[in-house]
A and B are shown apart, each in its own frame.
Chain A
């Protein structure tokens, strides 16, 4: 019963995604990371060449958990102005020590399970999160000035849909792989393929 409902709900979405986007073009491809175990967690984002694009942060906070001595997700791309809600889901002490480069921007103790703390990120750039109690834990919040972004899966695949036609600068960010930048032209209703390799 639930299965057939799921099919009915999912089917239009599949048909929709199998066709060209309803407006704008899309950028799709694969980023292969040679210096990490998988090609996951590459942030790919587009900014209009020589221009800026307005960003609208989501109405609700996005979540970042501390669970099993890991930050989940490990990489969280958000648009400028987004509020991130942090949760400690472990039954022991963590903290969230946020850095911009080497400068501490916040350091919050998360001493008990279920503890929640919110923070709005208004400035673009990378925020590194560490837990001083468990040095093996880390995460990155990538605050972007553009709504056109995606994060790769383990196989490196990504799709950025609904991008208005025009000339864009595509950039990548990865924890270990060197960033790459290239200029691409996106046509209305077309898919622009981008395949890159990130090494050291």
Chain B
């Protein structure tokens, strides 16, 4: 085991050795001619400034005018605004198509796999194209396309949305996000805003095997910041994810959050120029609460075999066996409530959260599923290039009287920035399943080994 772990770490470092300085950098870095560290602690996890940039629709909190280095193409002089509605409102086109890529190279050790099949070379594990920019201060967009993925997740368009900034009212108060979005209930720790390879359970937990908070969906979201400290997001999304755009019953969600201390949610407090030193630090506490209510039109097809006596004349030797499929359909409503916490002090950051929910009739047997998932994570920025982290996940779910999920997960993680755009991660996964009560009986877990996985991942952003 020790030898295997050493080999994995060695392979990870070797994969770094051939990587020279990034000759190209992602689209935002190119646009502003600035390092990834302006907005990220370690890609893709953002610092407070990066979060303000995201909230502001991928426009610098104080406006882009003085910071954009790639001169955009004017689609009309500023003066045309004065002539509206008798002229087209002027806009800007980015100087270059704003494309960037993330590539992951991964080595995985899974001790539970059969002998001889425990070490996997997953290279590349994922090739992801990202595109995002703004068209002036009023409109930004972001897209994410997974071109290749060695695992089992969906490949293709993940997110693509436009955000219209400052639609009405004071600055930052009302923005509208339209497209394929990650619902704003995950805004406390969005899917890509993490150090670890795995995501916090509160955004990743599929209680019934289908819906989970972080899934991108087609929809519209209203979001904004009031007074630098208060954030809200509310929206309507299609629900059921990807396959049914025409669906009258949509899912709705809302989240509110308050931040005390540190950089304002709108970036207030940051200097107009981009800082490079200590911008990972944000001594602040942010607490958010959210709710989501959704609906599935579910169906289940079961096949049974029946004896077909037709044409047999009563002769059993002429009976045939045929399969009969029956499809049952039912409505399934579900809801989620949760809170999220982020607290930073000096080189430490604590994140945590809880999500609780009820699924009314997930399996068509009119049994209600109740569940809770929570996590806590501590990150320590030992050096700007070296960040150990440790996360604990807990999941519990109960279908009427039967316990389904009941486990703890532990994720020790070490993030090493070889360069600002090249990140190496070493991460373990440990899981401890508790005894469960099923049908009034105590059932021991089938898997008692806690050590589930060790992964060494190198991520390149360019």
Q: Which residues does A use to contact B, with CB under 8 Å?
A: 34-37, 99, 101-102, 128-130, 135-138, 140, 175-176, 200
A200–B79 contact, CB under 8 A? no
How distant is B108 from chain A, measured CB to nearest CB, in Å?
48
20 contacts between A and B (CB under 8 A): A35-B65, A37-B65, A99-B82, A102-B82, A128-B79, A130-B77, A130-B79, A130-B83, A135-B88, A135-B90, A136-B75, A137-B77, A138-B78, A138-B79, A138-B80, A140-B79, A175-B78, A175-B79, A200-B63, A200-B171
- Is B74 located at the chain interface by the 8 A CB criterion? yes
In the complex, besides A35-B65, A36-B65, 10 extra interface pairs with C-beta distance below 8 angstroms are A35-B63, A37-B66, A102-B83, A136-B75, A136-B77, A138-B78, A138-B80, A175-B79, A176-B65, A176-B78
Residues in B whose Cβ lies below 8 Å from that of A128 = 79, 82
How distant is A96 from chain B, measured CB to nearest CB, in Å?
13
Residues in B whose Cβ lies below 8 Å from that of A34 = 62-63, 66, 272
Residues in B whose Cβ lies below 8 Å from that of A102 = 82-83, 86
Annotate B190-231 by CB proximity to A: 1 below 8 A, 0 otherwise.
Answer: 000000000000000000000000000000000000000000
A101-B82 in contact given A36-B65, A135-B90 (Cβ < 8 Å) = yes
Residues in A whose Cβ lies below 8 Å from that of B63 = 34-35, 200
Residues in A whose Cβ lies below 8 Å from that of B156 = none
- Is B445 located at the chain interface by the 8 A CB criterion? no
- Is B261 located at the chain interface by the 8 A CB criterion? no
Q: How far is the CA of A140 from the CA of B79 in the complex (A)?
A: 9
- Give the interface centre of A34, A99, A136, A137 by most chain B CB atoms within 10 Å: A136
A136-B272 in contact given A34-B66, A35-B63 (Cβ < 8 Å) = no
A36–B76 contact, CB under 8 A? no
How distant is A161 from chain B, measured CB to nearest CB, in Å?
30
A136–B76 contact, CB under 8 A? yes
Q: Of all chain A residues, which has the CB nearest B79?
A: A138
Residues in B whose Cβ lies below 8 Å from that of A136 = 73-77
Say what secondary structure dominates the interface of chain B.
loop
Q: How far is the CA of A130 from the CA of B88 in the complex (A)?
A: 13
A135–B62 contact, CB under 8 A? no
How distant is B84 from chain A, measured CB to nearest CB, in Å?
9
Q: Which of A35, A99, A175, A200 contacts B83 (CB 8 A)?
A: A99
B75–A135 contact, CB under 8 A? yes
Q: Of all chain A residues, which has the CB nearest B71?
A: A37
Q: How far is the CA of A175 from the CA of B90 in the complex (A)?
A: 14
User: In the complex, which residues 11-70 of chain B have their Cβ closer than 8 Å to any Cβ of chain A?
Assistant: 62-63, 65-66
User: In the complex, which residues 77-135 of chain B have their Cβ closer than 8 Å to any Cβ of chain A?
Assistant: 77-80, 82-83, 86, 88, 90
Q: How far is the CA of A102 from the CA of B84 in the complex (A)?
A: 8
Residues in A whose Cβ lies below 8 Å from that of B82 = 99, 101-102, 128
How distant is B325 from chain A, measured CB to nearest CB, in Å?
62
Q: How far is the CA of A37 from the CA of B62 in the complex (A)?
A: 12
How distant is B268 from chain A, measured CB to nearest CB, in Å?
13
Q: How far is the CA of A175 from the CA of B82 in the complex (A)?
A: 11
Residues in A whose Cβ lies below 8 Å from that of B90 = 135
A130–B65 contact, CB under 8 A? no
How distant is A133 from chain B, measured CB to nearest CB, in Å?
12
Q: Of all chain B residues, which has the CB nearest A128?
A: B79
Q: How far is the CA of A138 from the CA of B77 in the complex (A)?
A: 6
- Give the interface centre of B65, B76, B77, B90 by most chain A CB atoms within 10 Å: B77
B79–A36 contact, CB under 8 A? no
Q: How far is the CA of A128 from the CA of B80 in the complex (A)?
A: 9
A130-B80 in contact given A35-B65, A136-B74 (Cβ < 8 Å) = yes
Q: Of all chain A residues, which has the CB nearest B62?
A: A34
Q: Which of B77, B86, B171, B272 contacts A135 (CB 8 A)?
A: B77
Residues in B whose Cβ lies below 8 Å from that of A200 = 63, 171
Q: How far is the CA of A137 from the CA of B79 in the complex (A)?
A: 9
Q: Of all chain B residues, which has the CB nearest A130?
A: B79
Residues in A whose Cβ lies below 8 Å from that of B78 = 138, 175-176
Residues in B whose Cβ lies below 8 Å from that of A36 = 65-66
Residues in A whose Cβ lies below 8 Å from that of B74 = 135-136
How distant is A36 from chain B, measured CB to nearest CB, in Å?
5
Q: Of all chain A residues, which has the CB nearest B85?
A: A102
Residues in A whose Cβ lies below 8 Å from that of B88 = 135
How distant is A119 from chain B, measured CB to nearest CB, in Å?
18
How distant is B79 from chain A, measured CB to nearest CB, in Å?
4
Residues in B whose Cβ lies below 8 Å from that of A130 = 77, 79-80, 83
Residues in B whose Cβ lies below 8 Å from that of A99 = 82-83
Q: How far is the CA of A35 from the CA of B136 in the complex (A)?
A: 12
Q: How far is the CA of A130 from the CA of B78 in the complex (A)?
A: 10
Residues in A whose Cβ lies below 8 Å from that of B73 = 136
Q: Of all chain A residues, which has the CB nearest B88?
A: A135
